[in-house]
Amino acid sequence: MASTDIQQQIRKGSEVGGKTYAFNESHPPDRPAQMWFQQSDEGLILFVVFFTQACRWSRCLGCNLPSTGSIRHVDYRSLIAQIDHLFDDAQVASRSADIRKLIVSNNGSILDEGTFSSTALIYLMARVNLNLPKLSTISIETRLEYVELSELEFLARAIREGDTPTALELAVGFEAFDDRIRNQVFQKGLDLSVFERFIENVAPYGFRVKTYFMQKPVPHMSDEAAVADIHQAIDYLAVMARRFGVTINLHLNPTYVARGTPLEEAFRSGDYSPPRLRDVARAALRAEDQPIDVFLGLYDEGLAVAGGSFVRSGDQGLVDVLEKFNQTQDYRILRSLVD
Ligand code: SF4
């Protein structure tokens, strides 16, 4: 599909989603949009967000991630320069032997070849094998409509050629479990039947699955309803993990008020407040003794409006405790916050 057609899709999605943000046309095309380190029980994680043409879907209610991308196409040469920049970065180079997981994002879909070049993806796999000798997992963020099994098989084969066995993880945005909230209010465009077919298809290959959820993603949702929605998600994913034998991670992002979205309007008119961190602990606690892992996303990527973060004044201690949970999966830590 031509880049101009994709531009139209992005503009249409933004309009349907009531978005008022601008895209980021001033970002140097040879630099990733963002990169940072995280610690989890899997070890050191490097998270990279490549700078590409924005997410084609663009309509999800509380999401302004497309504002970090360009409305225009970013070609493969620029993406290759971004990949070189990533591995030449002094911090990445000095910690490369400790990095156990790489999360690859473009705040959209890495498997959408219209916005993320296939040439660049192959180059990325080569640099991963050359530069990250201890990598155990590479995680690729994508919407499900871009998943092709033959492409996944090829990628998995390529990363198996690295120095250590490396698993492929597909990271999929779910955001809300309730069907009405997910598809009618949040406009995610993801049916459970599509997700279940995907799980069934990837299970025989041993690919892992990460699901992104947002706690309290829409206005007019009580804190109790938000916790209950995550509990239902955990119960559902536990059933999927058992039925198909797939390793599933639930990545729980407390919602922040993203600028330029309908959530910002609701926040300003008093119809929305972000979830409280103790409720996030309460929600995640449901996964204790279930066959899924939980990671708490405690970083708003600098995209929240002033006062719209889930980290309120005086909350830094709570964030530090929740980070410890991420590093240990020790549920006593969560229990200590809710008892
Ligand atoms: S949540 Fe994901 S799919 Fe939806 S608009 Fe944001 S980046 Fe696109």
Q: What is the pLDDT of residues 247-294, one digit of tens each?
A: 999 999 999 999 999 999 999 999 999 999 999 999 999 999 999 999
Residue with tokens 């479990």: 177
The total number of residues shown for the chain amounts to 339
Number of H helices, E strands in the chain: 12, 8
pLDDT tens for residues 62-106?
999 999 999 999 999 999 999 999 999 999 999 999 999 999 999
Listed in sequence order, the DSSP H helices in 132-259 are 149-160, 179, 192-202, 223-244
DSSP conformational letter for 304: B
Least confident of 68-72, 105-109, 129-133, 163-167: 163-167
Mutate to test the pocket of ligand 1, among 51, 60, 145, 301 (most ligand atoms within 8 A of CB): 60
Task: Give the domain range for residue 112.
Answer: 3-338
> How many structural domains comprise the chain?
1
254 near 215, Cβ under 8 Å?
yes
- Residue 264, token pair as written in the block: 């910002």
Whether 132 has a pLDDT exceeding 90, the answer reads yes
Q: pLDDT class for 177, splitting at 50, 70, 90?
A: very high
Atom of ligand 1 nearest to the CA of 66: 7
Q: What pLDDT, on a 0 to 100 scale, did the predictor assign at position 41?
A: 87
How large is the average pLDDT for residues 21-36?
97
How large is the average pLDDT for residues 214-236?
97
Pocket around ligand 1: residues whose beta carbon is below 6 Å from it?
Answer: 55, 57-58, 60, 63, 65-66, 107-108, 143, 173
34 near 49, Cβ under 8 Å?
yes
Torsional class of 222: left (φ above 0), alpha (ψ -120 to 50), beta (otherwise): beta
Q: Residue 294 CB: number of other CB atoms within 10 A?
A: 24
Of residues 41 and 273, more confidence is placed in 273
* C-alpha distance across the termini of the chain, in Å: 54
310 near 275, Cβ under 8 Å?
yes
CA-nearest residue for atom 7, ligand 1, is 108
What CATH number should be reported for the domain holding residue 310?
3.20.20.70
Q: What pLDDT, on a 0 to 100 scale, did the predictor assign at position 301?
A: 81
Nearest-CA neighbor of 244 among 186, 204, 284? 204
Q: Give distance in angstroms: CA of 206 to centre of ligand 1.
A: 26
Task: Please list, residue by residue across 181-199, b when 16 or more beta carbons sit within 10 angstroms of its beta carbon and e when fewer do.
Answer: bbbebbbbebeeeebeebb
Enclosing H/E stretch for 268 = helix 262-268
- Residue 228, token pair as written in the block: 């209950």
List the Cα angle 104/145/236 in 5-degree steps.
80
Strands (DSSP E) contained in 83-190 are: 99-105, 137-141, 167-175
Residues facing residue 209 across a β-bridge: 170, 248
CA-nearest residue for atom 6, ligand 1, is 63
Whether 1 has a pLDDT exceeding 80, the answer reads no
Whole-angstrom Cα distance, residue 266 to residue 249? 30
Amino acid letter, 192: L
Q: What pLDDT, on a 0 to 100 scale, did the predictor assign at position 317?
A: 94
How large is the average pLDDT for residues 155-179?
94
- Residues near 323 by Cβ (< 8 Å), separated by ≥ 6? 39, 296, 298
The pTM of the full predicted model, rounded to 2 decimals, is 0.94
For residue 297, CA distances in Å to 47, 189, 322 come to 12, 22, 10
